[in-house]
Structure 1
Amino acid sequence: MTVDKLDPDLLEGAAAAAEPAHESDSLDAENTLKPEFVRRVRDGLEAGENDAVYGLVEGLHPADIADLFELLDSDERPALAIAISDLMGSEVYAELNDYVREDIVEQLPAETVADIAEQLDTDDAVAMLEDLDEEDQQAVLAEMEPEDRAAIETALSYPEESAGRLMSRDFVAVPEHMTVGDLIDFLRDGRDLANEFWEVFIVDARFHPVGTCALSWILRTPRSIALTDVMQRDQTLIPVTMDQEEVALRFQKYALISAAVVDADGRLVGQITVDDVVHIIQEEAGEDVLLLSGAGEGDINEPIRDSYVARVRWLIANLATALLGATIISSFGGAIEKLVALAALSPMVASIGGNAGTQTMAVAVRALATNQLTRTNTTRILLREFRVAVLNGVTVATLIGVATALVFSNPLLGVVIGTAVVVNIITAGLAGVVVPVTLDRLGQDPAVASSVFVTMITDSMGFFAFLGLAVASGLVG
């Protein structure tokens, strides 16, 4: 059917209906809440004018309401939750930052939390309850309907950050003896079906998935065709205990929209969809960057004490490794006294090596996280980074060697520092690969401690190579 002309009044009405209420008053051009809007909400809360606050917030999208909670101080959030209790639906809780949600949930009655959890998808309900104290968690579960409680308790029994925690139990599965017509009639009947799905899982008598049918195939296939003749038998099955990072890699590698999750016996127990995986990719990417810097989770809503504990331990570790560099410098104290330029130039050698090591380490950690660096190609990657390090070392060494020779009028000093830079950059390049790979082989997260070890190696080698070469070359007699 084609439409030659649309009623302008109809278009105007549809556009008005599609436009979020109060958007111009609350959101700026970057689609973030305006400071003056947040200030009006704060003023309303302080004055106890809950009706006014409700009127301000009523037209916001659930994601914007979640942002509003994050922008308020922790002691203001309960008052806002009370003022807009009718707007605090499952969509808002699903969008909340983990720390903010935990802060709010802890101050709500168990029966209220149970009501909210029952409205959420299983994975979102688990995310809301998993960080509660055991006592509070059990109190909430006790208020829930038996079916919902059983689903959440089962999910909580799986390891954290596993497919079992992530999966949704809302999926469509039908027996393999059906025809396309049978399936269409079943879907139209609509009883107890998932609200959103992109494919139907075909299962055998043991509830093992044997194939999938995309909705587009179903709609375009004659009713008389058997599902076994049209379904795709090759499918990516996700074990319920698989780590969420590996799940994301599977989705990326095979361009999946959704995938079946199976238990240890191969039975279909849930599905994971691409919208869940988008959150994982964002979370894991940010997590690796923060771990490399030793900044912990790096969430601005994280309690100050947790941030302190996460960061200070790595600063103390860096202090310990820095002592090794200081020891090396002190052992060459006599040489430094004879040629003060050594004291001025030593930090440059160590700093250049540290930067080179950080570059290589970032590449290696990312390659490990995305399965690009495996046992099969470790040697090839190591040789590749060695070649890159040699090229970088020669280039930087030439520049710093010539500059040092000219500034200090000492060609031998230029040769020494140039040689030290080459040695340190090559060492940094090798350490940037070897350290993360070794930690990974030992079953440790290579993003957590790699930077500490690589920094220790590059600093120590930088000082030792420069000062040692200065003494060995007779530069300081």
Structure 2
Amino acid sequence: MSTSELPDIEVETETELDEDDHLRPEFIRAVLDAVADGNDEEARSLVEPLHPADLADLFELTPGEQRAALARAVASLLDADVFAEMNDYVREDLIDALEPHEIADLAAELDTDDAVAIIEDMDEDEQRAVLRALDPDDRAAIEEALSYPEESAGRLMQRELIAVPEHWTVGDVITYLRGHEELTTDFWEIFVVDPSHRPVGTCALSWILRTPHWVPVADVMAREQTLIPVDMDQEEVALRFQKYALISAAVTDGGGRLVGMITVDDVVHIIQQEAGEDVLRLSGAGEGDINEPIRLTVRTRLTWLVVNLGTAMVAASVVGLFQGTISRFALLAVLMPIVSGMGGNAGTQTLAVVVRALATNQLTSSNTTRMIVRELRIAAANGLSLGLLIGVGTFVVFGNRDLSLVIALAMVINNLVAGLAGVVVPVTLDRFRVDPAVSSAVFVTTLTDTMGFFAFLGLASLAGLGA
């Protein structure tokens, strides 16, 4: 049969998502209009084809005051997978509207790490009520996870894994996997443990499937493996996954016993979260989540703005030392913000590079000196280039040779200060176990503003401008 003889078949096209896999605005309006009209059946029929991640996006894109009505309309579709994909603040709003036993039902369906993510931000009384409603095994696992520090491997790991003794054969493993329905179904490798339940190796599923039944597991397992201490920070966990290209990794307690595993899907989320946090902390914008309550956003941003106000007063006090020079030569007041502003921009560039290098372990104590030298060379090159440009420009506009030389030298000096501060400040904070992404920008900006004003006005006084 030729293609021209084939019957016309109407192809159903996806209308919920656009070409970038974002929910279409008209689709969101259609769902919310159905909810507003009380037509819950239509709302459910529209939402039912959505992937759990897209349904979570729908709630995040819905105005806060309409989320409760949407949740009631599509309640039968709100399963644990949807809650696991939700933004923390949106999920918290919906969780607040549920009864403890309903939250417990959701938590029981989730992996331990996802259940902990739902319960950990609840008030203590609500936590206890939810934990009481859980089965004893689930309650014990979640309580143990909550006992570990926040953002640690213990909070991130899941307890559902496959572990077998090293004296088994491949056939024993396959029989075990097929004969126990309660085992987890989501895993990529099998952990091999000794009699004390300490991990001694791993077997990829592909090895198990392709190896004869009679072969001992000890003969096919990989003895080299990356073990994650239960108290390791999640950022360090992500770096290990990235460095060693891991799909999953065993988590061990203080005695070296296997207590859980971390999978790459959780680590991808952590990498995205940590990278975003560092960028936002550099600006003092807090978490930067558009679903964060306004009062929390105001409090976070205002705190850093007040700190910046104090540093601005420090810079202003330096200007006050030279008010006599400024009053005699008013052009200084016009030009000095250029020096401090360019220094601040240069410092921010260096700071961003250094904070990222620290976060990814590219910058360590072994190469700090080399990093400082590198950034000083870059700062010198940039400072000379900018100094030449601003010097020539100042001479062309104002025709004052001394003023041109002063601003050119000040630009070079402040760029060198910016380059040095952009490395030394975050590295020093990191040595004292202070997150360099949080407070480095304040110190670097203060140094570049202060030194910019001091260099420019000090050189102007030495040159006798306005005398």
Q: Aligned runs of 1:197-208 on 2, under 5 Å?
A: 197-208=187-198
Matched with 2:391 is 401
Pair 1:73-2:63 in alignment: yes
Residues 1:129 and 2:112 are matched in the alignment: no
Is residue 14 of structure 2 the alignment partner of residue 23 of structure 1?
Answer: yes
Superposed, 1:28-427 pairs within 5 Å as 28-427=18-417
CA contact (8 A) 1:44 1:52 kept: yes
Using the TM superposition, name which of 181-190 and 433-442 deviates more: 181-190
**C-alpha distance in structure 2 between counterparts of 1:184 and 1:119, whole Å:** 26
- The CA distance in 2 between the partners of 1:310 and 1:132, in whole Å, is 21
What are structure 2's unaligned runs of at least 5 residues? none
- On the 8 A contact 1:336/1:342 being kept in 2, the answer is yes
Shift in Å at residue 191 of structure 1?
A: 3.0
1:5 is aligned to none
Distance in 2 between residues matched to 1:132 and 1:209, nearest whole Å = 34
Please report the RMSD computed on the Cα atoms of aligned residues, expressed in angstroms: 1.6
State the shift of 1:369 in Å.
Answer: 0.6
* Other structure's SS at 1:325 match: helix
Cα deviation for residue 159 of structure 1 reads: 0.5
> Letter of the aligned partner of 1:207 in structure 2?
H
1:438 corresponds in structure 2 to: 428
Deviations 1:369-421 (A, max 9, x none): 11111111111111111111111111111111111111110111111100000
**Greater mean alpha carbon deviation, residues 222-231 or residues 344-353:** 222-231
How far, CA to CA, are the matches of 1:23 and 1:130 in structure 2? Answer: 37
1:57 to partner: Cα distance = 1.2
Report the CA distance between 1:337 and its aligned residue.
1.7
Q: Which moved more, 1:69-78 or 1:100-109?
A: 69-78
Normalised by the length of structure 1, the TM-score is 0.94
CA distance in 1, matches of 2:138, 2:71: 24
Distance 2:14 2:132 in 1: 40
Q: For residues 130 and 172 of structure 2, what CA distance do their matches in structure 1 show?
A: 40
Contact kept? 1:290, 1:296, Cα under 8 Å: yes
Aligned-residue offset at 1:41:
2.1
Matched, 1:464 2:454: yes
Amino acid at match of 1:160: E
Contact 1:23 1:60 in 2 (8 A): no
Q: Which amino acid in structure 2 is aligned with residue 306 of structure 1?
A: L
TM-superposition CA deviations, 1:189-220 (whole Å, max 9, x none): 24322111111100000000000011111222
Name the aligned partner's letter for residue 183 of structure 1. Answer: V
State the shift of 1:302 in Å.
0.4
Pick which of 323-332 and 462-471 moved more: 323-332
Shift of 1:353: 0.3
SS in 2 for 1:328: helix
| Distance in structure 2 (CA, Å) of the matches to 1:151 and 1:333 | 67
| Aligned residue type for 2:14 | E
- The TM-score with structure 2 as length reference comes to 0.96
Query: Offset at 1:77?
Result: 1.2
Query: How much identity, in percent, do the aligned residues show?
Result: 61
- The AA in structure 2 aligned to 1:314 is W
Q: Within 2, Cα distance between the matches of 1:221 and 1:96?
A: 41
How many angstroms apart in 2 are the aligned matches of 1:163 and 1:263? 10
**CA deviation string 1:300-320 (max 9, x = no partner):** 000111101111010001100
Q: What's the CA shift string for 1:412-458, capped at 9, x where partnerless?
A: 11111000000000000000011101111111100001111100000
1:23 counterpart SS class: coil
Q: Take 1:292 and 1:357, find their aligned partners in 2: how far apart are those partners?
A: 12
Ranges in structure 1 where 5+ consecutive residues have no aligned partner: 1-7
Q: Number of aligned pairs?
A: 461
Which stretch of the first structure deviates more once superposed, 255-264 or 222-231? 222-231
How far residue 73 of structure 1 moved from its aligned partner, in angstroms, is: 1.9
Distance in 1 between the 2:235 and 2:292 partners? Answer: 22
